Amino acid sequence: MSPQPLRVTLSAGVTVPDVRGKTLAEAEAALAAAGWRAARVDRGIHPGRPPNTVVIQHPPPGEVASEPGEMLLAVAE
Protein backbone atom coordinates (compact mmCIF):
# COMPACT_ATOMS: atom_id res chain seq x y z
CA MET A 1 0.00 0.00 0.00
CA SER A 2 1.51 3.31 -1.04
CA PRO A 3 1.20 6.39 1.14
CA GLN A 4 -1.66 8.72 0.31
CA PRO A 5 -1.30 12.50 0.45
CA LEU A 6 -2.99 14.23 3.35
CA ARG A 7 -4.72 17.54 2.68
CA VAL A 8 -5.30 19.92 5.58
CA THR A 9 -7.40 23.08 5.35
CA LEU A 10 -7.10 25.70 8.04
CA SER A 11 -9.76 28.30 8.70
CA ALA A 12 -9.98 31.25 11.02
CA GLY A 13 -13.70 30.51 11.32
CA VAL A 14 -16.73 32.56 10.36
CA THR A 15 -18.16 35.59 12.11
CA VAL A 16 -21.73 35.21 13.34
CA PRO A 17 -23.97 37.69 11.47
CA ASP A 18 -26.08 40.23 13.37
CA VAL A 19 -29.78 39.76 12.56
CA ARG A 20 -31.17 41.64 15.57
CA GLY A 21 -33.74 44.27 14.59
CA LYS A 22 -34.58 42.52 11.32
CA THR A 23 -37.97 41.00 10.64
CA LEU A 24 -38.04 37.23 10.91
CA ALA A 25 -38.21 36.90 7.10
CA GLU A 26 -35.25 39.28 6.65
CA ALA A 27 -33.27 37.44 9.33
CA GLU A 28 -33.92 34.03 7.79
CA ALA A 29 -32.87 35.31 4.34
CA ALA A 30 -29.69 36.90 5.73
CA LEU A 31 -28.82 33.75 7.66
CA ALA A 32 -29.40 31.53 4.61
CA ALA A 33 -27.18 33.79 2.48
CA ALA A 34 -24.40 33.37 5.05
CA GLY A 35 -24.87 29.59 5.32
CA TRP A 36 -26.73 29.65 8.65
CA ARG A 37 -30.28 28.56 9.47
CA ALA A 38 -32.79 29.43 12.15
CA ALA A 39 -33.09 26.21 14.13
CA ARG A 40 -35.61 27.50 16.63
CA VAL A 41 -37.69 30.64 16.85
CA ASP A 42 -39.18 31.60 20.21
CA ARG A 43 -41.85 34.29 20.25
CA GLY A 44 -42.48 36.45 23.27
CA ILE A 45 -43.54 39.83 24.56
CA HIS A 46 -40.74 42.39 24.31
CA PRO A 47 -42.12 45.85 25.20
CA GLY A 48 -40.97 48.63 22.91
CA ARG A 49 -39.85 46.28 20.17
CA PRO A 50 -41.67 46.17 16.82
CA PRO A 51 -43.70 42.99 16.29
CA ASN A 52 -42.08 40.18 14.30
CA THR A 53 -38.53 41.49 14.79
CA VAL A 54 -35.56 39.57 16.13
CA VAL A 55 -34.60 40.78 19.61
CA ILE A 56 -32.16 38.08 20.73
CA GLN A 57 -29.99 35.62 18.84
CA HIS A 58 -27.66 32.81 19.84
CA PRO A 59 -24.84 32.51 19.03
CA PRO A 60 -24.34 36.23 19.59
CA PRO A 61 -23.33 38.51 16.72
CA GLY A 62 -19.63 38.98 16.14
CA GLU A 63 -18.68 35.69 17.77
CA VAL A 64 -16.41 33.46 15.68
CA ALA A 65 -17.73 29.98 14.90
CA SER A 66 -15.85 27.13 13.25
CA GLU A 67 -18.51 27.00 10.53
CA PRO A 68 -22.04 28.29 9.88
CA GLY A 69 -24.70 26.29 11.68
CA GLU A 70 -27.93 26.67 13.58
CA MET A 71 -29.11 29.92 15.13
CA LEU A 72 -31.67 30.36 17.89
CA LEU A 73 -33.84 33.48 17.57
CA ALA A 74 -36.20 35.29 19.94
CA VAL A 75 -38.82 37.33 18.08
CA ALA A 76 -41.13 40.03 19.46
CA GLU A 77 -44.87 39.35 19.20
In a domain, residue 19? The reply is yes
> Collapsing DSSP states into helix, strand and coil, what is residue 65?
strand
Which residue segment(s) compose the domain that 56 sits in? 14-76
Q: What CATH number has the domain bearing residue 63?
A: 3.30.10.20
In a domain, residue 8? The reply is no
What's the pLDDT score for residue 69? 96
- Segment 8-67, tens digit of pLDDT: 777 789 999 999 999 999 999 999 999 999 999 999 999 999 999 999 999 999 999 999
Number of structural domains found in the chain: 1
* Cα 62 off chain centre by: 10
Give pTM, 2 decimals: 0.83
> Collapsing DSSP states into helix, strand and coil, what is residue 69?
coil
In a domain, residue 4? The reply is no
